[in-house]
Amino acid sequence: MEENESRTNDPAENNVALLYPERRSELLMPAGSLERLKVAVLYGADAVYLGTPDMSLRTKSRFSLEEVKEGITYAHAHGVRVYLTLNLFTHNKDVPKLDDYIETLKDIRPDGVIVADPGVFAYLKKNAPEFNLHISTQANVCSYITVDFWKDAGAELVVMAREVTFNELEEIRERCQDVKIETFVHGAMCMTYSGRCLLSNFMSERGANQGNCANSCRWQYKVHLRLNDGTLKELHLSEENMEMFEFVLEEGYRPGDLLPIEEDSRGSYILNSKDMCMMPKLNDYLRIGIDSLKVEGRNKSPYYIAVVANAYRRAIDDYYADPENWSPREYMKELETVSNRGYTLAFHDGRLKNYAHNYDNTKSMASWEFAGIIREARDDGFVVELKNRLEAGEVMEFLSPITRQTVFLRLYEFQIDGDDETVTVVNAGQKRHIFIPYTAFDRENPDDMRKNFPAYSVIRKEAQLTEEEWQRLKNDKITQKIEMGQAPEDLYQDNVEKLQDKISDELMDRRSKTSRHGVEGCCGRGCNGCLIFWNDPQYEKARQLMAKKKHGEILDRDMREDKIAVSGS
């Protein structure tokens, strides 16, 4: 690590930086549907990858062939590359489809074809030599000799396995400079070697290697005892016997290295990995010139695609603009607003530690959630398709793909699009659309709103979480700091115990951090449409201070202590 740090501080010693100063990393985003492709393009992807269900590892892909064609046309019109997945492992029944698929490829002209099966690779080289071939992560490439093998075979780009450490990646980059290298920087982690898992097949007869994983590793498991007479007993843990037992795993080649299996009254999630997030180390990947930075998630929502693409786009651009002063802090805050299982640096520094797993909770969550997506920006306002239930007084945050400034809005009633009806509660079912006139944004310029929030811009709202869930999010941040060497390790066990206390208390009342209804008090955000903030005389001084702050920025603690108007915060 000391050698690596010295290389970071002295770019003159970095061969890649000297030989390839023009090598700029692309942001590669997933596209599980045509809608998600358009969102990825809008929020800053340099390239997207997609596939049809029959010939890729994504049986849940929502792309029809016609939509693939439309998506490629749309992406190319916006200067974005498209890589098509053909990374199935062929059975005999799949081979007759290859000729038709090649003809389809020739028709739609993707920028690259992602393959894993050597047979498929050879078949394409022989029958469609005009295509750029990318080697999938499913091929488990972990060394420079394997990269060279695929380069010599004719591959344009090789995707590294997730198990490759950064030191290994840096050496691969230096040794393999005449082939493109791609690596994952964000998304779900599999507890097996680059997705080579049979748990799902065994547990639920769903092929994990065909993109249909049942996530059996994230299920809840219980410990049982088998007595010598063959009787099977469930071991019930209670306050009386909890201190009598400790369950550990010992791996054969590491005698004495005991891995605790944490189990409470609900069971344990002993195989549940946290999500990969390389944002804290992104400058390392950009410094050594990795060609493509890949985000996992073709089954994730448009909101996930928008937020993650937006965060990485800005982080990449800011690094190239000023690498010496680059910091991940701003972008990490944004990534924390999308559902995750807690973030980990995964194999970046070598072998995984226990902080990369979540033994207590397998749920993917965040303090914000998808509220809606703009379907149309009319001359007089937005048509919004709801993705979640909205209640009068809730704060919506509009995320712009054009500017870094978000816009908050609080409404006390919702107008159904195409109807004079207004309601105070509207559900997302049946693709409900609401109309929001620009006049509702009483502090914004309508022309700016129309320009900065085009169709496919996303809207979020604060999630209501239980005390257990808030503690889980706190634990996730603490373990991430420990993993980064920014917090002492003894904090980990203390916070795990606090989480278990919240679970055992069964405190299931859901709440948000700020007031969800303006009539109950002011959250201090100063949102557009917040009648109580902008009209009540008691908030006059707060309004003056908010006018000097970035729009939507929350009033800080000093303002509250000065008794300035934030009774609901």
- Output the pLDDT for position 534: 75
**The domain spanning residue 422 has which CATH number?**
2.40.30.10
Q: Higher confidence at residue 407 or residue 105?
A: 407
What is the C-alpha to C-alpha distance for residues 403 and 444, in angstroms, rounded to an integer? 14
Encode pLDDT of 483-521 as tens digits: 888 888 777 666 666 655 655 444 445 555 555 444 445
**The domain spanning residue 57 has which CATH number?**
3.20.20.70
Which of 100-104, 148-152, 246-250, 408-412 shows the lowest mean pLDDT across its residues? Answer: 246-250
- Output the pLDDT for position 7: 33
Residues 175 and 89 in one domain: yes
pLDDT category at 556 given cuts 50, 70, 90 is low
- Output the pLDDT for position 29: 98
Residues 317 and 383 in one domain: no
End-to-end CA gap in the chain:
44
What is the C-alpha to C-alpha distance for residues 159 and 112, in angstroms, rounded to an integer? 12
Residue 243 φ/ψ, nearest 5 degrees: -75, -10
Residues 376 and 432 in one domain: yes
Q: Higher confidence at residue 350 or residue 416?
A: 416
- Output the pLDDT for position 147: 98
Q: Higher confidence at residue 401 or residue 465?
A: 401
Q: Is residue 430 part of a domain?
A: yes
Place of tokens 């400079």: 177
Token pair of 379, please? 């001359």
Give the bridge partners for 49, in sequence order. 30, 83
CB atoms inside a 10 Å sphere around CB 361: 21
In this prediction, residues 283-297 reach a mean pLDDT of 96
In this prediction, residues 559-564 reach a mean pLDDT of 43
What is the C-alpha to C-alpha distance for residues 539 and 299, in angstroms, rounded to an integer? 44
Encode pLDDT of 201-236 as tens digits: 555 545 555 555 656 565 655 555 556 666 666 666
Q: Is residue 428 part of a domain?
A: yes
Question: How many domains does the chain contain in total?
Answer: 3
Question: Is 255 exposed, middle or buried (CB count within 10 Å of its CB: 0-12, 13-18, 19+)?
Answer: exposed
Which of 150-159, 222-231, 292-301, 321-330 shows the lowest mean pLDDT across its residues? Answer: 222-231
Residues 75 and 122 in one domain: yes
Cβ distance 20 to 289 under 8 Å?
Answer: yes
pLDDT category at 568 given cuts 50, 70, 90 is very low
Domain that holds residue 149: 22-186+277-335
Residues 316 and 372 in one domain: no
Residues 100 and 181 in one domain: yes
- Output the pLDDT for position 378: 96
Residue 555 φ/ψ, nearest 5 degrees: -65, 135
In this prediction, residues 182-196 reach a mean pLDDT of 77
- Output the pLDDT for position 266: 44
Q: Is residue 7 part of a domain?
A: no
462, 482, 508: which is the final residue of a domain?
Answer: 462
pLDDT at 239 over 80: no
The distance from CA 505 to its chain's CA centroid, rounded to whole angstroms, is: 31
Residues 414 and 553 in one domain: no
Residues 164 and 44 in one domain: yes
Question: What is the number of alpha carbons within 13 Å of residue 101 lying toward its C-beta?
Answer: 21
Q: Is residue 479 part of a domain?
A: no
Q: Catalogue the long-range contacts made by 141-146 (C-beta closer than 8 Å, 24 or more residues apart).
A: 142/168, 143/168, 143/172, 144/171, 144/172, 144/175, 144/176
Give the bridge partners for 85, in sequence order. 114
CA dihedral of residues 376, 377, 381, 387 (deg, nearest 10): 40
Q: Higher confidence at residue 241 or residue 268?
A: 241
- Output the pLDDT for position 66: 84
What is the C-alpha to C-alpha distance for residues 135 and 148, in angstroms, rounded to an integer? 12
> In angstroms, what CA-CA distances link 253 with 192, 250, 256, 257, 258?
18, 9, 9, 9, 11
Which of 159-168, 326-335, 339-348 shows the lowest mean pLDDT across its residues? Answer: 339-348
Q: Higher confidence at residue 298 or residue 139?
A: 139
424, 443, 462: which is the final residue of a domain?
Answer: 462
Residues 31 and 156 in one domain: yes
Q: Is residue 100 part of a domain?
A: yes
Three-class DSSP category at 453: coil
Token pair of 528, please? 């557009």
Cβ distance 304 to 297 under 8 Å?
Answer: yes
What is the C-alpha to C-alpha distance for residues 399 and 395, in angstroms, rounded to an integer? 13
Q: Is residue 33 part of a domain?
A: yes
Q: Is residue 468 part of a domain?
A: no
Mean pLDDT (the chain, rounded):
79
Encode pLDDT of 108-141 as tens digits: 899 999 999 999 999 999 999 999 999 999 899 9
pLDDT at 355 over 50: yes
Name the most confidently modeled range: 246-250, 310-314, 466-470.
310-314
Three-class DSSP category at 384: strand
Residues 324 and 436 in one domain: no
286, 311, 335: which is the final residue of a domain?
Answer: 335
pLDDT category at 431 given cuts 50, 70, 90 is confident
- Output the pLDDT for position 11: 37
Which of 11-15, 359-363, 397-401 shows the lowest mean pLDDT across its residues? Answer: 11-15
Q: Higher confidence at residue 343 or residue 560?
A: 343
Which of 194-208, 449-463, 544-558 shows the lowest mean pLDDT across its residues? Answer: 194-208
- Output the pLDDT for position 546: 76
Q: Higher confidence at residue 557 or residue 73?
A: 73
- Output the pLDDT for position 19: 43
DSSP 203-263: HHS--GGGT----GGGS-B--EEE-TTS-EEE----TTTGGG---EEE-TTSTT-EEE---
In this prediction, residues 306-311 reach a mean pLDDT of 98
Residues 180 and 283 in one domain: yes
Residues 168 and 90 in one domain: yes
